[in-house]
């Protein structure tokens, strides 16, 4: 009986340590306090990204076009050139993650609309850094698995790129894995 109680106590201690460690890893990202979504709309060029499964076939010319649908919703069209030279695109929707929270925390869905009720089809999209003139942005998600450095033009000033990469590193992203995006 004492062994069972001791084992249960150790199990509870172990689980609580895991939960604390999990919470530490998932500390909220420092995001910009507010985004003018109408100003954010338009074309953004991917300058760099952390490797991810949904862009594996993208060889170059990666961009995203955001179009206002409502005050709290954007249409998203991601595009890239594949290795065979053909363009590929995916259409989705972005919405506020929390109507009472910062509008720099969005949820994005590329799954069909009829699946919108499922939380797992919505991914986090959080604006960590945004130039005052909306010329470049740093976007990621709280798990630190996905990260993008974006610019309004296909090329970015190297100093601005380094500054964004340093900010990403300070937020806990592994910037040593960043892949630069080629634009033709």
pTM for the whole structure: 0.84
Classify domain 37-180 at the CATH superfamily level.
Answer: Calycin beta-barrel core domain (2.40.128.20)
Task: Read off the pLDDT of residues 113-155 as tens digits, 9 standing for 90 and up.
Answer: 889 889 889 999 999 999 999 999 999 999 999 999 999 999 9
102 — pLDDT class (breaks 50, 70, 90):
confident
Averaged pLDDT score across all residues of the chain? 88
Closest CA to 48 of 134, 132, 171, 173: 173
For the chain, give the longest Cα–Cα distance: 71
Give residue limits of the domains in the chain.
Answer: 37-180
112 vs 86: which has the higher pLDDT: 86
Closest CA to 44 of 31, 61, 69, 58: 61
Query: Is the CA virtual torsion 39, 42, 46, 51 positive or negative?
Result: positive
Average pLDDT over residues 8-25: 39
């Amino acid at each position: 009986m004492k062994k069972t109680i001791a084992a249960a106590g150790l199990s509870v201690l172990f689980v609580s340590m895991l939960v604390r460690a999990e919470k530490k890893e998932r500390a909220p990202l420092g995001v910009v306090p507010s985004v003018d979504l109408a100003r954010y709309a338009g074309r953004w060029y991917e300058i760099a990204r952390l490797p991810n499964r949904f862009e594996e076939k993208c060889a170059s010319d990666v961009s995203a076009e955001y179009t206002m649908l409502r005050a709290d919703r954007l249409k998203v069209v991601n595009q890239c050139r594949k290795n065979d030279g053909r363009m590929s695109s995916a259409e989705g929707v972005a919405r506020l993650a929390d109507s009472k929270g910062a509008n720099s925390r969005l949820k994005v869905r590329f799954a069909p609309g009829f699946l919108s009720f499922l939380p797992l089809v919505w991914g986090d999209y959080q604006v960590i850094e945004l130039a005052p003139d909306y010329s470049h942005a740093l976007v990621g998600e709280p798990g630190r698995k996905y990260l993008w450095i974006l610019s309004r033009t296909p090329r970015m000033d190297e100093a601005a790129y380094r500054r964004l990469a340093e900010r990403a590193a300070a937020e806990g992203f592994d910037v040593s894995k960043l892949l630069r995006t080629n634009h033709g």
